[in-house]
Amino acid sequence: MLSPELNALLSRIDRVQMLVWTVLTLSIVLYGAVAFAVAGAREASELGATLRPLFYLAGLCAAGLSWVLHRRARTAALPRGTAPAADPPAGSRDALLRGNPEVLAQFDRLPEHERRALTTAVRGFTPWMLCLVLNEAVAILGLVLALLAGTPADVIPFTIAALLLNAAMRPDNRGAVERALGQVGI
């Protein structure tokens, strides 16, 4: 059971991450729409057909890297049987919580085990953002291929892959905190 203070902090973090996730997911859909609007009006190109395998390879690499990084970030947060990661070094606490005095006061009121669990979850933000950027790259590769080839259908597999990856990487800070607390038996 999470304390009310921890739930309040998680709600703030969740709102920001959901906003970022939603905007990036919608941009993937937009890339698909642009491909159909622009590439459909263009003539098919030999260059696109020639480069198609390279685009598929690059998209596959970006998608695979995103998935591997996502899985590693979820499973490597805490090794089994250990305490959650220590509080962030001095100064980074303020950076993690955006230096907002109200938020910092809420953080300081948390019990030690919840503070450590929240720190573990917040540290997952950078790998999560990197995964979303890689997912975006997959969609952009599809858009560029569709524009180069002049065939809007080329964007479809890239868009589907990027959307599926984004769906799998929906923000889950509560789950990360509960996993961190569960691993120390709290």
pLDDT above 90 for 42: no
Distance, in Å, from the CA atom of 158 to the CA atom of 16, rounded to the nearest integer, reads: 26
The pLDDT of residue 146 is 93
The answer to whether 166 and 138 have CB atoms below 8 angstroms apart is: no
For 155-179, how does the pLDDT look when each residue is reduced to its tens digit (9 = 90+)? Answer: 999 999 999 999 999 988 877 788 7
Q: Are 74 and 180 in contact (CB under 8 A)?
A: no
pLDDT, one tens digit per residue, over 133-147 is 999 999 999 999 999
Distance of alpha carbon 118 from alpha carbon 85, whole angstroms: 10
Q: What's the rounded Cα separation, in Å, for the pair 44 and 141? A: 17
- The string of pLDDT tens digits covering residues 1-24 is 778 888 888 888 888 899 999 999
> Looking at residues 105-132, what average pLDDT do you find?
84
The pLDDT of residue 165: 97
Rg (the chain; Cα; Å): 20
Q: Write down the pLDDT at residue 81.
A: 46
CA separation for the pair 57, 24 (Å, rounded)? 22
Q: Are 85 and 116 in contact (CB under 8 A)?
A: yes
